[in-house]
Structure 1
Amino acid sequence: MKIPIYQVDAFTKNVFGGNPAAICLLPHWLDDNTLLNIAKENNLAETAYLVQKEDILEIRWFMPYAEIDLCGHATLASAYIIFNVIQPLLQEVTFSSKSGLLKAKRGSDKTITIDLPSRPPKKTPIPREVSDAFRTTPLEAFAARDLVLVFPSEQEIIDAAPQLEPLKDLPYLCTIITTKGTNVDFVSRVFDANGPNPEDPVTGSAHASLVPFWAERLQKTSLEAHQLSERGGILYCELVKDRVYLSGHCAHYLTGTITI
Protein backbone atom coordinates (compact mmCIF):
# COMPACT_ATOMS: atom_id res chain seq x y z
CA MET A 1 0.00 0.00 0.00
CA LYS A 2 1.28 3.46 -0.92
CA ILE A 3 0.24 6.50 1.13
CA PRO A 4 0.94 10.12 0.09
CA ILE A 5 2.72 12.02 2.86
CA TYR A 6 3.51 15.70 3.21
CA GLN A 7 5.50 17.53 5.86
CA VAL A 8 4.62 21.13 6.60
CA ASP A 9 6.04 23.64 9.09
CA ALA A 10 3.07 25.40 10.70
CA PHE A 11 2.78 28.90 12.18
CA THR A 12 5.80 30.15 10.28
CA LYS A 13 6.65 31.62 6.87
CA ASN A 14 9.95 29.77 6.66
CA VAL A 15 11.02 26.14 6.46
CA PHE A 16 12.79 25.02 9.65
CA GLY A 17 10.62 27.33 11.73
CA GLY A 18 7.30 26.77 13.46
CA ASN A 19 6.10 23.27 14.24
CA PRO A 20 6.52 20.41 11.73
CA ALA A 21 3.59 18.09 11.09
CA ALA A 22 3.15 15.11 8.78
CA ILE A 23 -0.06 14.80 6.78
CA CYS A 24 -1.09 11.42 5.37
CA LEU A 25 -3.95 11.03 2.89
CA LEU A 26 -5.71 7.69 3.35
CA PRO A 27 -8.31 6.00 1.09
CA HIS A 28 -9.93 4.58 4.24
CA TRP A 29 -9.10 4.22 7.91
CA LEU A 30 -6.33 1.78 8.74
CA ASP A 31 -6.11 -0.02 12.06
CA ASP A 32 -4.92 2.09 14.98
CA ASN A 33 -1.72 0.13 15.44
CA THR A 34 -0.63 0.93 11.89
CA LEU A 35 -1.49 4.62 12.37
CA LEU A 36 0.55 4.68 15.56
CA ASN A 37 3.50 2.92 13.93
CA ILE A 38 3.55 5.43 11.07
CA ALA A 39 3.55 8.25 13.63
CA LYS A 40 6.43 6.58 15.47
CA GLU A 41 8.34 6.25 12.20
CA ASN A 42 7.72 9.92 11.35
CA ASN A 43 8.88 10.86 14.87
CA LEU A 44 7.22 14.27 14.76
CA ALA A 45 5.06 15.85 17.43
CA GLU A 46 2.01 14.93 15.36
CA THR A 47 1.00 13.04 12.26
CA ALA A 48 -2.42 13.97 10.89
CA TYR A 49 -4.44 11.41 8.93
CA LEU A 50 -7.19 12.49 6.52
CA VAL A 51 -10.01 10.42 5.03
CA GLN A 52 -12.55 12.02 2.68
CA LYS A 53 -16.20 11.29 3.60
CA GLU A 54 -18.57 13.09 1.22
CA ASP A 55 -18.11 16.87 1.82
CA ILE A 56 -16.17 16.49 5.06
CA LEU A 57 -12.65 15.37 5.76
CA GLU A 58 -12.27 13.17 8.79
CA ILE A 59 -9.07 13.98 10.67
CA ARG A 60 -7.19 12.18 13.43
CA TRP A 61 -3.91 13.14 15.10
CA PHE A 62 -1.28 10.77 16.45
CA MET A 63 1.75 11.55 18.53
CA PRO A 64 4.49 8.88 18.39
CA TYR A 65 3.06 7.30 21.53
CA ALA A 66 -0.71 7.97 21.45
CA GLU A 67 -3.66 9.47 19.63
CA ILE A 68 -4.75 12.89 20.92
CA ASP A 69 -8.11 14.64 20.84
CA LEU A 70 -7.01 17.98 19.34
CA CYS A 71 -3.99 19.33 17.48
CA GLY A 72 -3.92 22.85 16.10
CA HIS A 73 -0.68 22.96 14.13
CA ALA A 74 -1.34 19.68 12.29
CA THR A 75 -4.84 20.93 11.41
CA LEU A 76 -3.36 24.15 10.01
CA ALA A 77 -0.80 22.09 8.08
CA SER A 78 -3.53 19.77 6.75
CA ALA A 79 -5.56 22.75 5.54
CA TYR A 80 -2.45 24.10 3.82
CA ILE A 81 -2.02 20.86 1.85
CA ILE A 82 -5.73 20.80 0.91
CA PHE A 83 -5.66 24.43 -0.27
CA ASN A 84 -2.31 24.34 -2.04
CA VAL A 85 -1.91 20.77 -3.32
CA ILE A 86 -5.17 18.82 -3.36
CA GLN A 87 -7.86 21.43 -4.16
CA PRO A 88 -6.22 24.77 -5.05
CA LEU A 89 -9.54 26.51 -5.77
CA LEU A 90 -11.08 25.62 -2.42
CA GLN A 91 -11.55 28.49 0.04
CA GLU A 92 -12.82 26.60 3.09
CA VAL A 93 -12.66 23.05 4.40
CA THR A 94 -14.41 21.32 7.30
CA PHE A 95 -12.71 18.62 9.33
CA SER A 96 -14.62 16.12 11.45
CA SER A 97 -12.63 15.25 14.57
CA LYS A 98 -12.79 13.93 18.11
CA SER A 99 -13.19 17.58 19.13
CA GLY A 100 -16.13 18.19 16.81
CA LEU A 101 -16.25 20.02 13.49
CA LEU A 102 -13.26 22.27 12.81
CA LYS A 103 -13.27 24.74 9.93
CA ALA A 104 -10.28 26.12 8.07
CA LYS A 105 -10.41 29.14 5.76
CA ARG A 106 -7.92 30.52 3.30
CA GLY A 107 -6.89 34.14 4.03
CA SER A 108 -6.12 36.89 1.53
CA ASP A 109 -2.63 37.36 3.03
CA LYS A 110 -1.62 33.70 2.54
CA THR A 111 -2.56 32.88 6.10
CA ILE A 112 -4.96 30.11 7.05
CA THR A 113 -7.44 30.44 9.90
CA ILE A 114 -8.61 27.43 11.87
CA ASP A 115 -11.24 27.38 14.60
CA LEU A 116 -10.92 25.29 17.73
CA PRO A 117 -13.17 24.78 20.74
CA SER A 118 -12.38 27.20 23.55
CA ARG A 119 -11.05 25.44 26.66
CA PRO A 120 -10.76 28.06 29.42
CA PRO A 121 -8.51 26.77 32.20
CA LYS A 122 -9.68 26.85 35.80
CA LYS A 123 -7.53 27.95 38.71
CA THR A 124 -5.87 25.07 40.52
CA PRO A 125 -3.30 24.69 43.30
CA ILE A 126 0.29 24.73 42.07
CA PRO A 127 1.49 21.11 42.10
CA ARG A 128 4.62 20.43 44.12
CA GLU A 129 6.10 18.74 41.03
CA VAL A 130 6.10 22.10 39.24
CA SER A 131 8.47 23.68 41.76
CA ASP A 132 10.70 20.61 41.53
CA ALA A 133 10.77 20.79 37.73
CA PHE A 134 11.31 24.54 37.31
CA ARG A 135 13.28 25.12 40.52
CA THR A 136 11.00 28.07 41.20
CA THR A 137 7.31 28.56 41.90
CA PRO A 138 5.13 30.30 39.32
CA LEU A 139 2.64 32.99 40.28
CA GLU A 140 -0.47 30.89 39.53
CA ALA A 141 -1.62 27.61 38.01
CA PHE A 142 -4.68 26.88 35.88
CA ALA A 143 -5.84 23.61 34.37
CA ALA A 144 -7.83 22.31 31.42
CA ARG A 145 -6.46 19.49 29.26
CA ASP A 146 -3.04 21.10 29.85
CA LEU A 147 -1.55 22.72 32.94
CA VAL A 148 -1.07 26.48 32.49
CA LEU A 149 1.55 28.16 34.69
CA VAL A 150 1.79 31.96 34.88
CA PHE A 151 5.27 33.40 35.35
CA PRO A 152 6.26 36.98 36.25
CA SER A 153 8.21 37.99 33.12
CA GLU A 154 8.98 37.15 29.51
CA GLN A 155 12.66 36.70 30.37
CA GLU A 156 11.75 33.93 32.82
CA ILE A 157 9.83 32.18 30.03
CA ILE A 158 12.87 32.47 27.75
CA ASP A 159 15.30 31.26 30.43
CA ALA A 160 13.23 28.33 31.70
CA ALA A 161 15.11 25.01 31.55
CA PRO A 162 12.88 22.56 33.43
CA GLN A 163 13.77 19.07 34.48
CA LEU A 164 10.74 17.26 33.08
CA GLU A 165 10.94 14.04 35.07
CA PRO A 166 8.85 15.43 38.00
CA LEU A 167 6.05 16.36 35.57
CA LYS A 168 5.59 12.89 34.07
CA ASP A 169 2.91 11.71 36.50
CA LEU A 170 0.80 14.88 36.45
CA PRO A 171 -2.69 14.32 34.92
CA TYR A 172 -2.14 16.75 32.04
CA LEU A 173 -1.04 16.26 28.46
CA CYS A 174 1.31 19.26 28.43
CA THR A 175 2.70 21.88 30.78
CA ILE A 176 2.41 25.45 29.47
CA ILE A 177 4.33 28.40 30.85
CA THR A 178 3.09 31.85 29.91
CA THR A 179 3.19 35.56 30.71
CA LYS A 180 2.18 38.90 29.26
CA GLY A 181 4.36 39.73 26.28
CA THR A 182 6.75 42.63 25.84
CA ASN A 183 6.01 43.20 22.13
CA VAL A 184 2.94 40.97 21.74
CA ASP A 185 -0.07 40.27 23.91
CA PHE A 186 1.27 37.08 25.47
CA VAL A 187 4.07 34.57 25.11
CA SER A 188 4.37 30.91 26.02
CA ARG A 189 6.38 27.72 25.87
CA VAL A 190 4.96 24.18 25.98
CA PHE A 191 6.55 21.04 27.43
CA ASP A 192 5.54 17.40 27.03
CA ALA A 193 7.20 15.36 29.75
CA ASN A 194 6.11 12.03 28.23
CA GLY A 195 6.80 12.68 24.57
CA PRO A 196 9.88 12.08 22.40
CA ASN A 197 10.30 15.84 21.95
CA PRO A 198 10.39 17.47 25.39
CA GLU A 199 9.43 20.92 24.09
CA ASP A 200 6.75 21.45 21.47
CA PRO A 201 7.75 24.26 19.08
CA VAL A 202 4.30 25.81 18.43
CA THR A 203 1.16 24.34 19.96
CA GLY A 204 -2.17 25.36 18.47
CA SER A 205 -4.24 23.29 20.91
CA ALA A 206 -2.53 24.95 23.88
CA HIS A 207 -3.94 28.24 22.62
CA ALA A 208 -7.45 26.82 22.99
CA SER A 209 -6.77 27.51 26.69
CA LEU A 210 -4.31 30.40 26.43
CA VAL A 211 -6.54 32.61 24.28
CA PRO A 212 -9.61 32.63 26.58
CA PHE A 213 -7.28 32.99 29.57
CA TRP A 214 -5.48 36.06 28.22
CA ALA A 215 -8.61 37.50 26.58
CA GLU A 216 -10.16 37.74 30.03
CA ARG A 217 -7.02 39.13 31.67
CA LEU A 218 -6.27 41.69 28.97
CA GLN A 219 -9.92 42.53 28.25
CA LYS A 220 -9.54 42.07 24.50
CA THR A 221 -10.61 39.34 22.10
CA SER A 222 -8.02 39.80 19.32
CA LEU A 223 -4.51 38.90 20.40
CA GLU A 224 -1.08 38.25 18.94
CA ALA A 225 0.94 35.48 20.52
CA HIS A 226 4.51 34.21 20.23
CA GLN A 227 5.59 30.76 21.30
CA LEU A 228 9.20 31.22 22.38
CA SER A 229 10.67 27.84 21.47
CA GLU A 230 13.94 27.56 19.56
CA ARG A 231 12.04 27.26 16.26
CA GLY A 232 9.50 29.88 17.33
CA GLY A 233 6.03 30.61 16.02
CA ILE A 234 3.56 33.46 15.59
CA LEU A 235 -0.19 33.03 16.11
CA TYR A 236 -2.88 35.60 15.41
CA CYS A 237 -5.73 34.77 17.75
CA GLU A 238 -9.36 35.73 18.20
CA LEU A 239 -11.92 34.60 20.76
CA VAL A 240 -15.51 34.49 19.50
CA LYS A 241 -17.95 33.08 22.06
CA ASP A 242 -16.88 29.47 22.60
CA ARG A 243 -14.49 29.27 19.64
CA VAL A 244 -10.83 30.15 19.33
CA TYR A 245 -9.68 31.28 15.87
CA LEU A 246 -5.98 30.86 15.12
CA SER A 247 -4.38 32.29 11.99
CA GLY A 248 -0.89 31.58 10.73
CA HIS A 249 1.36 30.84 7.80
CA CYS A 250 2.80 27.49 6.69
CA ALA A 251 5.92 26.39 4.83
CA HIS A 252 5.86 23.21 2.71
CA TYR A 253 8.94 21.12 3.44
CA LEU A 254 8.43 17.63 2.01
CA THR A 255 6.31 15.55 -0.38
CA GLY A 256 6.71 11.80 -0.50
CA THR A 257 5.16 8.34 -0.39
CA ILE A 258 4.95 5.82 2.42
CA THR A 259 5.11 2.17 1.38
CA ILE A 260 3.73 -0.37 3.84
Structure 2
Amino acid sequence: MKMYIVDSFTNKAFKGNPAAVCILESEQTDQWMQHVACEMNLSETAFLLKNGNEYALKWFTPTGEEDLCGHATLATAHILWEEQLCNDHELRFNTRSGLLTAIRNQDWIEMNFPIELEQEVTPPTELIEGLGTAYRYVGKNRMDYIIEVADETTLCNLQPNFTLWKSVPSRGIIVTSKSDRSDVDFVSRCFYPANGADEDPVTGSAHCCLGPYWQAKLHKEDLVALQLSSREGLLKLRIEEGRIIIQGQAVTTLKGELLA
Protein backbone atom coordinates (compact mmCIF):
# COMPACT_ATOMS: atom_id res chain seq x y z
CA MET A 1 0.00 0.00 0.00
CA LYS A 2 1.49 3.32 -1.07
CA MET A 3 2.07 6.00 1.59
CA TYR A 4 3.12 9.61 1.14
CA ILE A 5 3.80 12.63 3.32
CA VAL A 6 2.92 15.99 1.81
CA ASP A 7 3.43 19.51 3.14
CA SER A 8 0.22 21.41 2.35
CA PHE A 9 -0.46 25.14 1.86
CA THR A 10 3.15 25.83 0.96
CA ASN A 11 5.55 25.57 -1.98
CA LYS A 12 8.55 24.83 0.27
CA ALA A 13 9.44 21.53 1.92
CA PHE A 14 9.14 21.45 5.72
CA LYS A 15 6.75 24.39 5.74
CA GLY A 16 2.96 24.36 5.75
CA ASN A 17 1.12 21.43 7.34
CA PRO A 18 2.30 17.83 6.82
CA ALA A 19 -0.30 15.15 6.13
CA ALA A 20 0.06 11.46 5.38
CA VAL A 21 -1.82 10.03 2.40
CA CYS A 22 -2.60 6.32 2.25
CA ILE A 23 -3.84 4.92 -1.08
CA LEU A 24 -6.04 1.95 -0.18
CA GLU A 25 -6.26 -1.10 -2.41
CA SER A 26 -9.44 -2.35 -0.71
CA GLU A 27 -11.77 -1.36 2.12
CA GLN A 28 -10.24 -1.31 5.60
CA THR A 29 -11.81 -1.04 9.02
CA ASP A 30 -11.88 2.23 10.94
CA GLN A 31 -9.86 0.51 13.67
CA TRP A 32 -7.08 -0.33 11.18
CA MET A 33 -7.07 3.23 9.83
CA GLN A 34 -6.86 4.56 13.36
CA HIS A 35 -3.83 2.36 14.03
CA VAL A 36 -2.12 3.67 10.90
CA ALA A 37 -2.90 7.28 11.85
CA CYS A 38 -1.33 6.66 15.26
CA GLU A 39 1.74 5.19 13.54
CA MET A 40 2.06 8.23 11.26
CA ASN A 41 1.63 10.53 14.29
CA LEU A 42 0.74 13.55 12.14
CA SER A 43 -2.19 15.88 12.66
CA GLU A 44 -4.05 14.06 9.86
CA THR A 45 -3.74 10.90 7.79
CA ALA A 46 -5.95 10.69 4.71
CA PHE A 47 -7.25 7.32 3.47
CA LEU A 48 -8.35 7.17 -0.14
CA LEU A 49 -10.26 4.41 -1.95
CA LYS A 50 -11.29 4.68 -5.60
CA ASN A 51 -14.99 4.07 -6.21
CA GLY A 52 -15.86 4.33 -9.90
CA ASN A 53 -15.24 7.91 -11.03
CA GLU A 54 -15.12 9.18 -7.44
CA TYR A 55 -13.12 8.51 -4.30
CA ALA A 56 -14.08 7.68 -0.73
CA LEU A 57 -11.95 9.88 1.52
CA LYS A 58 -11.53 9.65 5.29
CA TRP A 59 -9.34 11.62 7.67
CA PHE A 60 -7.95 10.38 10.98
CA THR A 61 -5.92 12.14 13.65
CA PRO A 62 -3.88 10.00 16.08
CA THR A 63 -6.92 10.08 18.39
CA GLY A 64 -9.97 9.80 16.12
CA GLU A 65 -11.79 10.38 12.84
CA GLU A 66 -12.40 13.95 11.66
CA ASP A 67 -15.48 15.39 9.95
CA LEU A 68 -13.56 17.82 7.73
CA CYS A 69 -9.91 18.42 6.86
CA GLY A 70 -8.49 20.83 4.32
CA HIS A 71 -4.76 20.17 4.34
CA ALA A 72 -5.09 16.38 4.04
CA THR A 73 -7.58 16.79 1.17
CA LEU A 74 -5.13 19.11 -0.57
CA ALA A 75 -2.35 16.57 0.02
CA THR A 76 -4.50 13.79 -1.44
CA ALA A 77 -5.35 15.75 -4.59
CA HIS A 78 -1.69 16.70 -4.99
CA ILE A 79 -0.60 13.04 -4.84
CA LEU A 80 -3.25 11.85 -7.29
CA TRP A 81 -2.04 14.30 -9.90
CA GLU A 82 1.69 14.30 -9.14
CA GLU A 83 1.91 10.50 -9.15
CA GLN A 84 -0.32 10.34 -12.25
CA LEU A 85 -2.81 8.12 -10.42
CA CYS A 86 -5.58 10.19 -12.00
CA ASN A 87 -5.65 12.54 -14.96
CA ASP A 88 -9.18 13.89 -14.44
CA HIS A 89 -9.55 17.67 -14.48
CA GLU A 90 -11.81 17.46 -11.42
CA LEU A 91 -11.44 15.13 -8.45
CA ARG A 92 -14.57 14.14 -6.51
CA PHE A 93 -14.28 13.04 -2.88
CA ASN A 94 -17.13 11.55 -0.86
CA THR A 95 -16.57 12.43 2.80
CA ARG A 96 -18.31 12.85 6.15
CA SER A 97 -18.90 16.47 5.10
CA GLY A 98 -20.49 15.54 1.78
CA LEU A 99 -19.02 15.82 -1.71
CA LEU A 100 -15.81 17.82 -1.97
CA THR A 101 -14.13 18.58 -5.28
CA ALA A 102 -10.70 19.75 -6.39
CA ILE A 103 -9.33 21.12 -9.66
CA ARG A 104 -5.88 22.21 -10.81
CA ASN A 105 -5.14 25.83 -11.60
CA GLN A 106 -1.51 25.86 -12.77
CA ASP A 107 0.57 25.09 -9.65
CA TRP A 108 -2.35 25.76 -7.28
CA ILE A 109 -5.11 23.35 -6.29
CA GLU A 110 -8.64 24.71 -5.81
CA MET A 111 -10.87 22.83 -3.36
CA ASN A 112 -14.62 23.38 -3.15
CA PHE A 113 -15.62 23.17 0.52
CA PRO A 114 -18.74 23.91 2.59
CA ILE A 115 -19.05 27.22 4.41
CA GLU A 116 -19.12 26.77 8.19
CA LEU A 117 -20.70 29.96 9.51
CA GLU A 118 -20.25 30.95 13.13
CA GLN A 119 -22.71 32.73 15.41
CA GLU A 120 -21.78 35.13 18.19
CA VAL A 121 -21.86 33.45 21.58
CA THR A 122 -21.16 34.16 25.22
CA PRO A 123 -17.75 32.53 25.70
CA PRO A 124 -17.12 30.02 28.49
CA THR A 125 -14.87 31.20 31.28
CA GLU A 126 -12.11 28.69 30.41
CA LEU A 127 -11.95 30.02 26.87
CA ILE A 128 -11.35 33.65 27.86
CA GLU A 129 -9.06 32.87 30.80
CA GLY A 130 -7.02 30.60 28.54
CA LEU A 131 -6.76 33.33 25.89
CA GLY A 132 -5.09 35.71 28.30
CA THR A 133 -5.70 38.90 26.30
CA ALA A 134 -8.50 41.25 25.27
CA TYR A 135 -10.77 40.17 22.43
CA ARG A 136 -13.16 41.86 20.00
CA TYR A 137 -15.50 38.99 19.14
CA VAL A 138 -16.25 35.37 20.00
CA GLY A 139 -18.34 33.10 17.78
CA LYS A 140 -18.87 29.38 17.38
CA ASN A 141 -19.84 26.99 14.60
CA ARG A 142 -20.43 23.23 14.73
CA MET A 143 -16.71 22.56 15.12
CA ASP A 144 -14.75 25.47 16.57
CA TYR A 145 -14.75 28.71 18.51
CA ILE A 146 -13.48 31.75 16.58
CA ILE A 147 -11.98 34.72 18.43
CA GLU A 148 -10.98 38.04 16.88
CA VAL A 149 -8.20 39.97 18.62
CA ALA A 150 -6.99 43.52 18.10
CA ASP A 151 -4.12 43.10 15.64
CA GLU A 152 -1.43 40.85 14.20
CA THR A 153 1.05 41.68 16.96
CA THR A 154 -1.41 40.55 19.62
CA LEU A 155 -1.98 37.33 17.70
CA CYS A 156 1.75 36.64 17.26
CA ASN A 157 2.41 37.19 20.98
CA LEU A 158 -0.47 34.99 22.11
CA GLN A 159 0.50 32.33 24.67
CA PRO A 160 -2.68 30.36 25.43
CA ASN A 161 -3.19 28.30 28.55
CA PHE A 162 -3.67 24.89 26.96
CA THR A 163 -4.57 23.24 30.25
CA LEU A 164 -7.65 25.48 30.43
CA TRP A 165 -8.41 25.13 26.73
CA LYS A 166 -8.45 21.34 26.90
CA SER A 167 -11.70 21.62 28.86
CA VAL A 168 -13.41 23.90 26.31
CA PRO A 169 -16.21 21.91 24.57
CA SER A 170 -15.23 22.24 20.90
CA ARG A 171 -12.96 20.67 18.30
CA GLY A 172 -10.66 23.68 18.43
CA ILE A 173 -10.14 27.41 18.92
CA ILE A 174 -9.38 29.76 16.01
CA VAL A 175 -7.84 33.13 16.86
CA THR A 176 -7.65 35.73 14.10
CA SER A 177 -7.04 39.39 13.26
CA LYS A 178 -6.81 41.70 10.29
CA SER A 179 -3.36 41.54 8.73
CA ASP A 180 -0.79 44.31 9.02
CA ARG A 181 0.66 43.29 5.63
CA SER A 182 -0.24 44.84 2.29
CA ASP A 183 -0.43 41.49 0.47
CA VAL A 184 -2.43 39.54 3.10
CA ASP A 185 -6.01 40.26 4.20
CA PHE A 186 -6.15 38.41 7.52
CA VAL A 187 -4.04 36.17 9.73
CA SER A 188 -4.89 33.39 12.14
CA ARG A 189 -3.60 30.75 14.54
CA CYS A 190 -5.50 27.53 15.25
CA PHE A 191 -5.37 25.48 18.45
CA TYR A 192 -6.65 21.94 19.10
CA PRO A 193 -5.45 20.95 22.59
CA ALA A 194 -8.48 18.73 23.24
CA ASN A 195 -7.48 16.66 20.19
CA GLY A 196 -3.82 16.38 21.11
CA ALA A 197 -2.46 19.22 18.93
CA ASP A 198 -1.84 22.41 20.90
CA GLU A 199 -1.27 24.41 17.70
CA ASP A 200 -1.95 23.23 14.15
CA PRO A 201 0.48 24.50 11.47
CA VAL A 202 -2.12 25.30 8.79
CA THR A 203 -5.81 24.47 9.03
CA GLY A 204 -7.81 24.43 5.81
CA SER A 205 -11.14 23.60 7.45
CA ALA A 206 -10.82 26.58 9.82
CA HIS A 207 -10.96 28.83 6.77
CA CYS A 208 -14.44 27.52 5.97
CA CYS A 209 -15.38 29.82 8.87
CA LEU A 210 -12.62 32.44 8.58
CA GLY A 211 -13.31 33.07 4.89
CA PRO A 212 -16.94 34.18 5.19
CA TYR A 213 -16.20 35.96 8.49
CA TRP A 214 -13.56 38.23 6.91
CA GLN A 215 -15.42 38.53 3.61
CA ALA A 216 -18.29 40.14 5.49
CA LYS A 217 -15.96 42.45 7.45
CA LEU A 218 -13.70 43.47 4.56
CA HIS A 219 -16.34 43.36 1.80
CA LYS A 220 -14.05 41.38 -0.50
CA GLU A 221 -14.90 38.26 -2.52
CA ASP A 222 -11.26 37.18 -2.93
CA LEU A 223 -9.07 36.93 0.16
CA VAL A 224 -5.48 36.03 0.97
CA ALA A 225 -4.92 34.39 4.35
CA LEU A 226 -1.76 33.59 6.28
CA GLN A 227 -1.69 31.18 9.20
CA LEU A 228 1.00 32.29 11.62
CA SER A 229 2.33 29.04 13.03
CA SER A 230 6.07 28.38 13.15
CA ARG A 231 5.75 26.61 9.77
CA GLU A 232 3.30 29.16 8.27
CA GLY A 233 0.91 28.55 5.41
CA LEU A 234 -0.67 30.65 2.67
CA LEU A 235 -4.24 30.22 1.41
CA LYS A 236 -6.29 31.99 -1.24
CA LEU A 237 -10.04 32.07 -0.64
CA ARG A 238 -13.10 32.88 -2.71
CA ILE A 239 -16.78 32.78 -1.75
CA GLU A 240 -18.77 31.26 -4.60
CA GLU A 241 -22.43 30.18 -4.72
CA GLY A 242 -22.71 29.47 -1.01
CA ARG A 243 -19.44 27.53 -0.92
CA ILE A 244 -15.83 28.46 -0.27
CA ILE A 245 -13.02 27.84 -2.74
CA ILE A 246 -9.79 27.18 -0.86
CA GLN A 247 -6.61 27.36 -2.92
CA GLY A 248 -3.27 26.01 -1.84
CA GLN A 249 0.01 24.54 -3.01
CA ALA A 250 1.72 21.37 -1.82
CA VAL A 251 5.11 19.62 -1.77
CA THR A 252 5.75 15.87 -1.40
CA THR A 253 8.48 15.09 1.14
CA LEU A 254 8.25 11.29 1.46
CA LYS A 255 7.16 8.29 -0.60
CA GLY A 256 6.96 4.81 0.86
CA GLU A 257 5.10 1.53 1.17
CA LEU A 258 3.01 0.44 4.13
CA LEU A 259 3.87 -3.18 4.88
CA ALA A 260 1.46 -3.93 7.74
The letter for the 2-side match of 1:239 is I
Q: Is the 8 A contact 1:130 1:137 kept in 2?
A: no
Match of 1:133 in 2: 130
**Deviation digits for residues 196-234 of structure 1 (CA, Å, limit 9, x no counterpart):** 331100000000000011111111111000000000000
The letter for the 1-side match of 2:247 is S
1:29 deviation in Å?
2.1
Answering whether residue 149 of structure 2 is matched by residue 157 of structure 1, we say: no
Match of 2:61 in 1: 63
Q: Is the 8 A contact 2:92 2:99 kept in 1?
A: yes
Q: Which runs of 5+ in 1 are unaligned?
A: none
**Deviation digits for residues 71-121 of structure 1 (CA, Å, limit 9, x no counterpart):** 00000010000111033633221111111111100112x011111100111
Q: Is the 8 A contact 1:126 1:140 kept in 2?
A: no
Measure the CA separation in 2 of the matches of 1:195 and 1:34.
Answer: 19
**Deviation digits for residues 139-158 of structure 1 (CA, Å, limit 9, x no counterpart):** 21010111000000100111
Match of 1:80 in 2: 78
Q: Is the 8 A contact 1:50 1:59 kept in 2?
A: yes
Match of 1:202 in 2: 202
Answering whether residue 132 of structure 2 is matched by residue 120 of structure 1, we say: no
Measure the CA separation in 2 of the matches of 1:160 and 1:252.
Answer: 31
Task: Indicate the SS of the match to 1:68.
Answer: coil
User: Which stretch shifts more, 164-173 or 199-208?
Assistant: 164-173
Q: Cα RMSD (Å) of the superposition?
A: 1.1
Query: Structure 1 stretches (4+) deviating beyond 4 angstroms?
Result: none
Measure the CA separation in 2 of the matches of 1:76 and 1:205.
Answer: 11
Alignment of 1:80-229 (within 5 A): 80-87=78-85, 89-108=87-106, 110-144=107-141, 145-183=143-181, 184-229=184-229
1:65 deviation in Å?
0.2
Measure the CA separation in 2 of the matches of 1:84 and 1:25.
Answer: 14
Measure the CA separation in 1 of the matches of 2:164 and 2:196.
Answer: 16
TM-score under structure 2 normalisation? 0.96
Task: Indicate the SS of the match to 2:230.
Answer: coil
The letter for the 2-side match of 1:176 is I
Task: Indicate the SS of the match to 2:194.
Answer: coil
Task: Indicate the SS of the match to 2:88.
Answer: coil
Measure the CA separation in 1 of the matches of 2:258 and 2:66.
Answer: 22
Q: Is the 8 A contact 1:174 1:192 kept in 2?
A: yes
Answering whether residue 19 of structure 2 is matched by residue 16 of structure 1, we say: no
Measure the CA separation in 2 of the matches of 1:9 and 1:50.
Answer: 17
Task: Indicate the SS of the match to 1:198.
Answer: strand
1:253 deviation in Å?
0.4
Q: Is the 8 A contact 1:83 1:91 kept in 2?
A: no
**Deviation digits for residues 157-197 of structure 1 (CA, Å, limit 9, x no counterpart):** 11111111111222210100001111211100000112333
The letter for the 2-side match of 1:163 is N
TM-score under structure 1 normalisation? 0.96
User: Which stretch shifts more, 194-203 or 145-154?
Assistant: 194-203
The letter for the 1-side match of 2:239 is L
Measure the CA separation in 1 of the matches of 2:85 and 2:28.
Answer: 24
Counterpart among 10, 25, 28 of residue 26 in structure 2: 28
Match of 2:36 in 1: 38
Percent identity reads 35
The letter for the 1-side match of 2:18 is P
Q: Is the 8 A contact 2:237 2:245 kept in 1?
A: yes
1:131 deviation in Å?
2.4
Q: Which runs of 5+ in 2 are unaligned?
A: none
